[in-house]
């Protein structure tokens, strides 16, 4: 009669269970890692049960447990692996690794927002984001904000949740409407986040506008969006597209002559009465038509590029 060695039955059962788990994952599209992390303690249950069964079914008064060395070695490896998996799971490392493996780069639309300009609102103050902000002329009396983003997420649902966090925040104070673009959560190796954003802002005509930011901004502005009194200040890149039959004037102040760009002929001169090296040192001027619509740009750093079409 063949003698039963502890470890043989446990190893066989474990192999069967692992095979069933993998088949289930294939047919039901279930993540194998999630199932293994949930059921891994069964390894210890099987080994303990097999030892108890051999002890209580043995005919000897003091039975000696005999082990299948190869099976026990494999099971020990699985046990230590399970303990390690438990440690990593309890600290969240496995969850983050699993998320990283399952995540992908997903393009997603930022939900559109429409803010009506109530009677009495004369000025819109925009806190520009660090990412690209495209400014265009609106066709209504509403401020419209929308955009696109590229995010790192596990699925489309998580991607849409990230897009919801990128929505602009608005607040009215007196005759001024404030529009602020919050800093998004940036992507990491083990966490969801935003990789790229392009906001689009539609502004109504005949309203005073100020655009600024405490950090570096990246603005792409359609010249038709400018009204009678615009101010852009801070540090960053400003790109303007102007049509030749426009009625527009641009006054820009920058730190260096090399900060003026585009296919236009800038009228550049050094600022008069300059006493220190702080702040803009050069002034540049452009004008189309009577220059009724006017924008004043003050850059502590960066460049302004104007292209005429």
H or E segment to which residue 74 belongs:
helix 69-90
Pairwise pLDDT comparison (211 vs 6), residue with the higher score: 211
109 shares a domain with 94: no
Q: Which of 217, 303, 202 is nearest to 258 (CA)?
A: 303
307, 288 in Cβ contact below 8 A?
Answer: no
Arithmetic mean of pLDDT over the chain: 82
- CB-side neighbour CA atoms (13 Å) of 247: 6
pLDDT of residue 233: 94
DSSP H or E segment with residue 80: helix 69-90
Residues 152, 297 within the same domain: yes
Show which of 101, 134, 164 is a domain's final residue: 101
Q: Has residue 56 been placed in a domain?
A: yes
- Domain identity same for 124 and 196: yes
Q: What is the pLDDT of residues 111-151, one digit of tens each?
A: 899 988 877 889 999 999 888 999 999 988 899 999 999 99
Is residue 194 located within the same domain as residue 277? yes
Residue 14 belongs to a domain: yes
The whole-model pTM stands at 0.69
Helix (H, G, I), strand (E, B), or coil: what is residue 93?
helix
- Clarify whether residues 93 and 141 are in a common domain: no
Residue 290 region, left (φ>0) first, then alpha (ψ -120 to 50), else beta?
alpha
Q: Which of 33-37, 78-82, 264-268 has the highest mean pLDDT?
A: 264-268
226 plus 79 within the same structural domain: no
Q: Which residues pair with 212 in a beta bridge?
A: 127, 233
**Boundary residue ending a domain (101, 126, 150):** 101
Q: Which has the minimum average pLDDT: 41-50, 71-80, 184-193, 264-273?
A: 71-80
Residue 117 lies in a domain: yes
In a domain, 248, yes or no: yes
Do 83 and 123 fall into the same domain?
no
Residue numbers of the domain that contains 17: 8-101
Nearest to 136 by CA among 125, 128, 144: 144
pLDDT band at 184 (very low <50, low <70, confident <90, very high): confident
Query: What distance in Å separates the CA atoms of residue 309 and residue 303, rounded to the nearest whole number?
Result: 20
The per-residue pLDDT for 299 is: 93
SS (H, E, C) 27-50: HHCCCHHHHHHHHCCHHHHHHHHH
The percentage of the chain sitting over the pLDDT mark of 70, rounded to a whole number, equals: 73
Q: Is residue 245 part of a domain?
A: yes
Residue 1 lies in a domain: no
Of 75, 101, 127, which residue is a domain's last?
A: 101
Q: Are residues 161 and 144 in the same domain?
A: yes
Same domain, yes or no: 97 and 122 = no
Q: In this structure, what token pair is assigned to residue 137?
A: 């002329």
- The whole-number pLDDT of residue 102 equals 77
Looking at the domain assignment, is residue 2 inside a domain?
no
- Which tokens sit at 181? 């673009």
- Please compute the mean of the pLDDT values over residues 260-272 and round it to a whole number: 90
């Amino acid at each position: 009669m063949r003698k039963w060695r502890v470890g043989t039955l446990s190893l066989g059962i474990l192999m069967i269970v692992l095979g069933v788990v993998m088949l289930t994952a294939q047919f039901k599209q279930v993540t194998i890692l999630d199932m293994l992390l949930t059921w891994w303690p069964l390894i210890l249950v099987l080994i303990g049960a097999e030892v108890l069964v051999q002890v209580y079914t043995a005919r000897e008064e003091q039975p000696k447990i005999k082990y299948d060395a190869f099976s026990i070695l494999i099971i020990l490896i699985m046990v230590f692996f399970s303990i390690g998996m438990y440690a990593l799971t309890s600290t969240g490392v496995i969850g983050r690794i699993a998320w990283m493996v399952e995540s992908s780069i997903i393009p997603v639309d930022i939900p559109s927002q429409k803010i009506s300009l109530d009677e009495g609102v004369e000025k819109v103050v925009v806190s520009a984001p660090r990412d690209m902000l495209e400014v265009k002329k609106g066709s209504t009396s509403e401020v419209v904000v929308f955009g696109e983003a590229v995010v790192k997420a596990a699925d489309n649902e998580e991607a849409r949740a990230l897009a919801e966090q990128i929505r602009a925040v608005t607040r009215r104070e007196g005759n001024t409407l404030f529009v602020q673009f919050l800093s998004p959560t940036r992507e990491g190796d083990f966490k969801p986040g935003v990789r790229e954003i392009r906001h689009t802002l539609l502004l109504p005509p005949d309203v005073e506008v100020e655009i600024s930011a405490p950090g570096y901004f990246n603005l792409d502005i359609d010249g038709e969006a400018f009204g009678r009194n615009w101010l852009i200040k801070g540090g960053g890149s400003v790109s303007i597209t102007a049509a030749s039959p426009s009625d527009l004037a641009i006054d820009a102040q920058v730190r260096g002559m090399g900060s003026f760009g585009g296919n236009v002929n800038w009228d550049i001169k050094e600022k008069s009465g300059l006493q220190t090296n702080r702040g803009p040192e050069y002034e540049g001027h452009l004008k189309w038509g009577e220059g009724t619509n006017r924008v004043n740009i003050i850059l502590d750093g960066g460049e302004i590029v104007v292209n005429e079409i």
